[in-house]
Structure 1
Amino acid sequence: MADAVGNSFLVVVLPLYIASGEVSGDLFGLSETLITGIVLGLFGLVSSICQPLTGRLSDKLGKRRLFVLVGLFLFMIANFLYTFADSYALLLLIRTAQGIAAALTITATLALVSELSSENNRGGNMGVYNAFRLIGFGVGPLASGALVEGGPYNLPLIGSINGFVAAFALAALAALLSIILVAFFVRDPENTKPNNEKMIIHFKSSIPGKILDPIFTLGLATLFMSMGFALLAPIEIEVNERLSQGAFLFSIEFSALIVSMAILQPIIGKASDKYGRKVFIVIGLVCLIPIILFEGLATQPWHMITARTLHGISAAMVFAPALALAGDLAKKGQAGAQLSVLSVAFGLGISFGAFLTGFAIRFGFIVPFAIGAILAGIGAILVYTQVPRHKP
C-alpha cells in the first residue's frame, strides 16, 4: 500500500508539473500533450516488458525479498530525483527507471505472497494484497492533488518548498517506509531455492482436450477484465456531458469500482480457498457482460455509480482467484516468471482499455462498452473451456 501511494502520487502530479513550466528543453518534435502522455505511459510499457525477465531472474536466484528491496530502493531514488528534473529527457529517464523498479517489486512480491501461502489460504492472501494496493492507488491521487494545491510549505531547517517538491519528497518517503517494512518483517520462505531450469511459460496446453495453457488463459482473462476496468477514465468529458454532471460525480463513479473491488477482494479470495477458484472467475466474467454494457447505456449519474460498484465486485471475483489459481498451477521455483503473465496482462489491459475507448468513442458512446462486454464474454468462455477445475 505504501508503495502504491507513492507511485499513484505521480499520476496527478506529473502532468501538472510539466504544465507548470518547471520542465523545459527539447520536446523531440512532439506536442506537450503527447510528450506528457509518453512520460506517463512509459512506466507501464517498461514495466510490462521487464516483468517476465525480472520474475525469471528472481526464480533463478531464489531471492524474492532482495528483488523487492532493490526495486523499492530504485523507486525511492527515482521519486526523489523528480525534484531535480528540469528537462523532458530527464523525466523520460526517471520514468524508465521507475518502470524497471516496478518490474522488480511486482513479480517478486506476487511470488512471495504465493510461496508464503498454501492452497488453503492463497486466495485470501492474494485478495488482501490486491486490496491494499488498490487502497494505495486510490489514496495517492487525492493526497497528491491536495499537497500540490496547498503549497508552498515552510519547513524547519529546510525552508520553503513548493507543492511539487513536497509531493515528490512524500512519494520517496512512502518508498522508504516500504523498504523498512519489508526489511524488518519479510523473509524468503525456507523452501524457495534457486531454480536453473528452463523458463516455462507455455501458450499451448499439455492437458489432453485443452488447447491453451491454463496460466496463459488466466492471463487473457485478466487482460480482458482490466481492459473493461479502464474504459471510463479517457472519456471523462463525454461521460459528464451525457450524464449532465460535473467532475465531482465523475470522481465518485470512477472510485466506486476501486472501493468495491478493494473491499470484496479479500472476502472473495478467501471464499475461493473454500469453494474453488474457477467458479468465481467464470461467474465474475459472465457478470461483467451486462454490467459493462449497462455503463454504456447509463443516462443518469446513479446509473453509472451503481454499474461501477457492481463492476468492482465482478472484477474482484476475477482477479484475486485468478492470481491464486495461477499460484496453485505454477511449477515450484517458477512462480516469479509464471505469475508475471497475469501482472503483465493487467498492466497491458489498462493501457489497451484506454486506447480502445479513445478510439471507439467516435462511433457512439456505447461502442467501447459493447466491445468490453464482448471481451468479458470471450474471457468467460476461455476460462470455462481451457482451465481445469482446481479446488484446493
Structure 2
Amino acid sequence: MADSLGNSFLIVVLPLYITSGVVGGGTFGLAPALVTGIILSAYGFFNSALQPFVGKLSDRTGKRRIFVVVGLLVLTVANFAYSLVDSYGAILLIRLGQGLGVAFTIPATVALVNELAADTARGESMGTFNTFRMVGFGLGPVVAGAVINRGPYRVFGRALTGFEAAFYVATVSALLGAVLVTLLVSDPEVSEEEEASAGEDLNIAVRDHVGDNLLDPVFTLGLASLFIAIGIALLEPLQTQVNSALGQSATMFGIEFASFTLAQVLLQRPIGMWSDEYGRRPFILAGLLLLIPATFVEGFVVTPLGMVVARFVQGVAGAAVLAPAMALAGDIAAGRSSGTTMSVLTMSFGLGVAIGPLSAGYLSGVELPVGQPYATPFVFGALLALVGFVLVYTQVEETVQANASPDSGPSPSSSD
C-alpha cells in the first residue's frame, strides 16, 4: 500500500511536470502528448521484459524477500532523483530505473502471496493483497493533485515547489515499504521436493500442451491482463486534454482516476472470496464483458461526473477479473514455480500499463466524427476488452473444482 501510494503519485505528477515548462532540452521533435506517453511507458516496457527472469531467479533461490526489498530501495532512489533533474532525457533514464525496481519487486511479491495462501482461500488472499495495493494506488492521485495545487511550501526554512513535495512523498513511501517488508515478512520454508520443482530453464508456454485448447491458460490470462491494463492506462497521458474538454482541475482528474481504484478497493476481496466458492472463470468473463462499455464511454462523456461514473464501472470490471485471474494462475502453479508462472500476469499487466499511455498519445490525434477529440483511444480499448473476453471464454478452464477435492492438486500446466 505504501509503495503503491508513492508510485501512483507519479501518474498525476509526471504528465503535469513534463508539460509545466520546468523540463527543458526539447521534445525530440515529437508532440508533447506523445513524449509524455513515451516517458510514462518506458518503465512499463523495461520492467515487463525483466519480470519473467526475476521471477525465475526467485524460484531458483527461494529467497523472495530480498528481491522485494532491493526493488523498493531502487524505487526510493529513483523517486528522489526526479527532484534533481529538469530534462526529458534525464527523466526517461529515471523512469527506466523505476522499471528496474518494479521488476525486482512485483514477481517476488505475488509469488510470496501465492505461496502463503491456502489452496481453498487463494482468491481471498489475492483479493486482500490487491485491495491494499489499490488503497495506496487510489489515494496517490488525489493527494498528488492537492499537493501540486497547494504548493509552493516552506519546510525547515527551504522553499519547495509542489512537484518537489510530490517527489519526496513518493520517495518516503517506497522507503517505508522497504522497511515494512524487512521487518515483517519472511520467506516460506522450502522443502527438497519444492527445490527440485523449480527447474533450470525459463519456460513460459504459449501453446496448451496439456489440455485440448490452442493457447496455454496462463498465457491467455496474461493476454486478458494486458488488454485490461491498456484500457485502464489510456486516461493517463490525456490529462491536459481531458481537463480542458471537461473544464476541470488536476484535483478533479485525480478523483476521476481514483474512482476506478475505489471500486477495486470495495470489491477485490469479496470477489476473490466468491471465486474460491463459485469458481474463477465466471467472474473473469463477467468483468471482461463489463469492461467493454465502461472503457468505450470514457471517450464520450461531457461532464466530470460522467467520467467519475465511467471510471468506477471500469474499476468494477477490473475487480471482477484481476483477483480471480491471479488466483487461477496460482492454482495452476506447482511447487516453487510461482515466480515464473505469476510473472506472466504481472509482466502482461505492466506491459499494458506501458502500451496504454503510448497508444493513447498516438491515437488521440485521430479524431472520430462523434465524441470527444480524444475518443479514439477508448474505442480501441473497448475492442481489446472484447478480444480478451473471447480468448478467456474459449481457452481457459475452471480450476476451483480440482482444488476442492482433497485428492487432487492444482491443474498441471506446461508453463510450470
TM-score range, shorter chain: 0.7 to 0.9
Distance 2:304 2:170 in 1: 33
Seen in structure 2, the aligned counterparts of structure 1 residues 38 and 208 have a Cα distance that, compared at 3 Å, is closer
Deviations 1:320-350 (A, max 9, x none): 1001111111232121122111112222223
What are the equivalent positions in structure 2 for 1:149-298 lying under 5 Å apart? 149-156=149-156, 159-191=158-190, 194=195, 195-235=198-238, 246-247=248-249, 251-295=254-298, 298=301
1:342 aligned partner: 345
After alignment, is 9-18 or 218-227 more displaced? 9-18
Runs of 5+ consecutive residues of structure 2 not aligned to the other structure: 404-416
Q: How much identity, in percent, do the aligned residues show? A: 46
Moved more, 38-47 or 363-372: 363-372
Residue by residue, what CA displacement relative to the aligned partner does 1:17-43 show, whole Å, maximum 9, x if unpaired?
A: 445565555765666665444333221
Report the CA distance shift for 1:329/1:23 in structure 2 as closer, same or farther (over 3 A).
same
Aligned residue type for 2:319: A
Which amino acid counterpart does residue 100 of structure 2 have in structure 1? Answer: I
Asked if structure 2 preserves the Cα contact closer than 8 Å seen for 1:222 and 1:319, the reply is yes
Distance 1:7 1:293 in 2: 26
CA contact (8 A) 1:228 1:369 kept: yes
Deviation at 1:123, TM superposition (A): 1.0
Contact 2:243/2:253 (<8 A) preserved: yes
Structure-2 residue corresponding to 1:310: 313
Aligned mates of 2:26, 2:312 — CA distance in 1: 43
Per the normalisation by structure 1, the TM-score is 0.87
The residue aligned with 1:325 is 328
Residue 78 of structure 2 aligns with which residue? 78
Partner AA of 2:61 in structure 1: L
Match of 2:145 in 1: 145
Q: 2 CA distance for matches of 1:70 and 1:54?
A: 12
Q: Which shifted more, 380-389 or 17-26?
A: 17-26
Confirm or deny: 8 A CA contact 2:152 2:162 kept in the other structure: yes
- Further displaced range: 346-355 or 309-318: 346-355
Once the two structures are overlaid, the 10-residue window that deviates more, 367-376 or 63-72, is 367-376
AA matched with 2:284: I
Gaps of 5+ in 1: none
SS of residue paired to 2:119: coil
The alignment's C-alpha RMSD in Å is 2.9
TM-score, L = length of structure 2: 0.83
Q: Can you list the C-alpha shifts for 1:234-279, whole angstroms capped at 9, x where unaligned?
A: 556776787x653476554443222112211111011111111112
Per the alignment, residue 376 of structure 1 pairs with 385
For 1:386 and 1:173, locate their aligned partners in 2 and report how far apart those are by CA, in whole Å.
43
Secondary structure, aligned partner of 2:154 = strand
Cα distance in 1, alignment partners of residues 350 and 290 from structure 2: 22
Provide the secondary structure at the position in 2 that maps to 1:154. Answer: strand
With over 3 angstroms needed to count, the CA separation of the structure-2 counterparts of 1:294 and 1:18, relative to structure 1, is closer
Distance 1:32 1:240 in 2: 16
Q: Are 1:389 and 2:385 matched, yes or no? A: no
Preserved contact between residue 200 and residue 338 of structure 1 (Cα < 8 Å): no
| Inter-partner Cα distance in structure 2 for 1:386 and 1:76 | 40
Q: Structure 1 270/355 Cα, relative in aligned 2: closer, same or farther at 3 Å?
A: same
Alignment coverage as a number of residue pairs:
390
Moved more, 185-194 or 219-228: 185-194
SS of equivalent residue, structure 1 residue 208: coil
Query: Are the aligned partners of 1:2 and 1:175 in contact in 2 as well (CA < 8 Å)?
Result: yes
Paired position in structure 1 for 2:38 = 38
Aligned in 2, Cα 1:289/1:147: closer, same or farther, shift over 3 Å? closer
Deviation at 1:11, TM superposition (A): 2.8
Q: What displacement does 1:373 show?
A: 3.4
Q: How far 1:69 sits from its partner (Å)? A: 0.4
Q: Distance in 1 between matches of 2:73 and 2:300?
A: 46
